[in-house]
Structure 1
């Protein structure tokens, strides 16, 4: 097939774009798996100082190479009440700047660096014994593959500089920036990565295939597409989180459209921001996001008020009762019945997660309505547990298959532990929060920071456990069990830290000592209950020997 073949061109470009997407994801997942706890703590430090919050968002986006990931984390914190909405919006504005900085870094021609990154990355990933060491290797490999994919893209498009058909199509986009803007937004949304989309557009501009006007419009469109990604991924979140995400969509998407109009109307000279067309495009991307953040930061409260009426608390859902997944008709087929039971266990876990997410705010400000809602959830969780047990018993009664009975016991154990986790929230943590309110006491600043950080860590593990239950992924299951050991060590460290404050005679620590220690123990109990979800998966894969992780499973099984 000749090199000018359109099919061969599409094959090469598609392969390069696919590698670019995967390598950006490789870096992001490496950071998330190796340093997610630290990143979450970092983001939660955003307070009333908007510049500080924006700076934290920028740093997190550079590390994660994704403003979308930062937006989702921030939405979770706002939803849990551990981060104020204005600070959340400021964090996301900073993350947009961080995403533009990432594009600047990755567009650097560093072909000489690729073999060094690959060699070091593979060595760390294969030889590393600690999880963080392996994740460092994953990140280095991902960075190397980003540069490789961009080089592939340049090579694939090089022969097409003189292609009349392609030049005509690209010239048309240069004369129709609105269409280019829409295409940029759609491509960024389809790629689920505004960073990857921007890198693609800038590379095409650097090759002389995409006129600078079209490249600018498509990069601005990618900013809109990136904000839409975060909005779509949080449609199931509560009102507080969606309000903040929508405010960022309004600012980033509306700002991108306004910037496009300004460029069309005034046609400013661009030579002062870059010597080449590609450099002009990538620099304008950074200038746009930085300017947008500086303009919007003083206005975060009015922006949030503007989008507020669009998101109201759901009306009373009387009559819309939850339908149980435990279908009696499915009992005739064991496999289908087990799937129904697994769905109900997952729903049970999601309810406990909602209880855990809500209870932390009561430690600072008691709310009778919120407490009653948590207790009502626990009552429903208890009913679900009983129904699941009876359903599983019926499955066992109808089947003599050893595999079916084994799965029945696994689901039964999960349900027991999830019910115990719900009790830990409703009976233990709720009572402790009520006790603080009745006694009129408060944690010390350091003590509250420790409790809030530990709660967030457990909530993250709960979400990871529910993902494991859905995907049955052995790698994710192993990471969950490894995290259990880290949680145990962290809880002991926090207990020692609390005792040190007692020795110093801090009044707040003395007044809340028992509440502080019992809260840490309850959170550790909840973490252990959800970690049980991973054990059957690891046992089946050979990664679990009795109750301990197999020493042979230290060798990574996949890079995905």
Structure 2
């Protein structure tokens, strides 16, 4: 029964941590991405941005996924991303410091406030803030349950024997900590469990320290496996973090075994040793790793060069033999539409690089992808008509028509990227002046918002989740308002005489053309967002959430 209670409390802890991360991502993901990009100029600011993101998300792994996405798109250099990830490790360790404290009556207050916000608020952000508060409250509740469940273990002869063995073989304790962090898929949760159990006197101090060091090794492997299919440039970032953080954990364990380390300086008890070591270790890794990030990435680039030659062609998911089975044929069409969407997203992510400097091979790759997308759209349309002939009436025909319409919308987005954004970037390159720092930042931030929404649209296409579909449609309205604000701000800068406009060239012909490029880029990105958002409408129509003119107001 004790083990069952511990397992249940650990499961609640994992779910609560995920609840907080989900709320933050749904309400503040765009702002978080902006924080991370804001620190690209200075190494220390990059690490601090990563620390803030890791603290808010309570997960360095989630930050790693964001940073590797920037690196894969070419909008963030790999050394910069590695510095941000080292900072995120500190942020998640700071989260452990906060969550490991005894806060008395705060948990029920957090849960009460969070549930009230979630049920009574109509806006998306207040509801997600409520979700975050409930998650934080449940983290404290779960830790309390772990304390209650492990209290009797301090006098257990069996556990005493196990801990005695681990105290004599810290390498096994280190490996156990790595496995626990990997199994929980959260070093934050692993360290919190170790600290909570240690506070009951069930884990000796040296064993708790070894478990925490192992959790850092195991935590560094989580992002490594999640990005295994990412481009080589992105994988270098997480491999570099694994080498620094994991290698540092091994080195610290060796020092612990060979040197008489004064662990009592970490705090008054083993629980304090665990959480303070976790923070101190990750801070030390950042101090060492931030200056060495460029060298680490340079070495990994030599060991892991970019692949040469064209990518292998992928077989179409449109199986002609499945047309005799309409449900299977619809599934094939859905898979192909998802592939088409992934191709369009792959065009959209790197196009922003052309605004910083013209890259003819990249521009040609985008055009080639657009031609491939056009062929895929034609094939999907013909395949959908084949489904209609096989099943003239019924839900399968309706779904096939929906998929064909989504393929058309996504192909429209691809044409906008290839035939509008790419030529706009080329025109910008041909001008003697470029966008001002303010104008360039506005374009980059708006582009990143659209990329985030495109990824959300592909998630909706896979999951058919009504909640995700509602959030995507709501974000469409937000994008429209943001585009209006950016256009207004641009015109106000232009009216002030040109120095604050998109270009630095005043009100002459060059300045006027720069202004037009800025405005047209914003409009094109908004249209791409609209095309991706169309993925949500069939889902909302099926659930009755969509009125004839607009998204139904979401109450309580």
Alignment TM-score, normalising by the size of structure 1: 0.96
Aligned to 2:526: 524
Q: Distance in 1 between matches of 2:330 and 2:302?
A: 43
Correspondence for 1:57 among 50, 56, 81: 50
Contact 2:435 2:514 in 1 (8 A): yes
Contact 2:75 2:350 in 1 (8 A): no
1:36 shift after superposition: 1.0
Aligned to 1:440: 432
> How do 1:210-289 residues align onto structure 2 when only pairs under 5 Å count?
210-289=203-282
1:274 shift after superposition: 0.4
Q: Distance in 2 between matches of 1:311 and 1:461?
A: 31
Contact 1:442 1:512 in 2 (8 A): yes
Aligned to 1:367: 359
Q: Distance in 1 between matches of 2:215 and 2:354?
A: 40
Q: Distance in 1 between matches of 2:8 and 2:31?
A: 34
Q: Deviations over 1:384-405 (max 9, x none)?
A: 0000000000000110332112
Contact 1:107 1:199 in 2 (8 A): yes
Q: Deviations over 1:428-458 (max 9, x none)?
A: 0001011111223311110000000000000
1:119 shift after superposition: 1.2
Aligned to 2:344: 352
RMSD across aligned C-alpha pairs, in angstroms? Answer: 1.2
Secondary structure of the residue aligned to 1:549 is: coil
Correspondence for 2:403 among 408, 411, 422: 411
> How do 1:461-540 residues align onto structure 2 when only pairs under 5 Å count?
461-506=453-498, 508=503, 510=511, 511-540=513-542
Contact 1:436 1:442 in 2 (8 A): yes
Unaligned 5+ runs, structure 1: 1-7, 556-560
Q: Distance in 2 between matches of 1:215 and 1:550?
A: 52
1:411 shift after superposition: 0.4
Aligned to 2:145: 152
Aligned to 1:310: 303
1:246 shift after superposition: 1.1
Specify whether residues 547 and 179 from structure 1 end up closer, same or farther in structure 2 by C-alpha distance, changes over 3 A only.
farther
Secondary structure of the residue aligned to 2:41 is: coil
Aligned to 2:324: 332
Alignment TM-score, normalising by the size of structure 2: 0.96
Aligned to 2:37: 44
Q: Distance in 1 between matches of 2:246 and 2:265?
A: 25
Correspondence for 1:124 among 99, 113, 117: 117
Q: Distance in 2 between matches of 1:30 and 1:281?
A: 28
Correspondence for 2:188 among 178, 195, 202: 195
Specify whether residues 343 and 547 from structure 1 end up closer, same or farther in structure 2 by C-alpha distance, changes over 3 A only.
farther
Aligned to 1:542: 544
Correspondence for 2:126 among 120, 133, 146: 133
2:155 aligned with 1:162, yes or no? yes
2:419 aligned with 1:427, yes or no? yes
> How do 1:22-41 residues align onto structure 2 when only pairs under 5 Å count?
22-41=15-34
Contact 2:217 2:245 in 1 (8 A): yes
Aligned to 2:387: 395
Aligned to 1:9: 2
Contact 2:443 2:522 in 1 (8 A): yes
1:251 shift after superposition: 0.7
Moved more, 268-277 or 55-64: 268-277
Q: Distance in 2 between matches of 1:439 and 1:21?
A: 53
1:161 shift after superposition: 1.7
Secondary structure of the residue aligned to 1:401 is: coil
1:315 shift after superposition: 3.0
1:317 shift after superposition: 4.4
2:90 aligned with 1:97, yes or no? yes
1:88 shift after superposition: 1.0
Contact 1:46 1:83 in 2 (8 A): no
Aligned to 1:175: 168
Q: Distance in 1 between matches of 2:333 and 2:356?
A: 37
Q: Deviations over 1:233-257 (max 9, x none)?
A: 1112112111111111111111111
Q: Distance in 2 between matches of 1:389 and 1:440?
A: 44
Q: Distance in 2 between matches of 1:352 and 1:311?
A: 27
Contact 2:205 2:269 in 1 (8 A): no
Contact 1:111 1:147 in 2 (8 A): no
Moved more, 490-499 or 181-190: 181-190
Secondary structure of the residue aligned to 2:39 is: coil
1:547 shift after superposition: 4.4
1:273 shift after superposition: 2.0
Contact 2:81 2:237 in 1 (8 A): yes
Size of the alignment, in residue pairs? Answer: 546
1:309 shift after superposition: 2.5
Q: Distance in 1 between matches of 2:41 and 2:124?
A: 35
Q: Deviations over 1:462-518 (max 9, x none)?
A: 001101111111111111111000000000000001101111222516241111111
Q: Distance in 2 between matches of 1:276 and 1:401?
A: 71
Correspondence for 1:290 among 283, 291, 295: 283
Q: Distance in 2 between matches of 1:120 and 1:434?
A: 52
Q: Distance in 2 between matches of 1:405 and 1:314?
A: 42
1:35 shift after superposition: 0.9
Q: Deviations over 1:38-62 (max 9, x none)?
A: 1111111012311111111101111
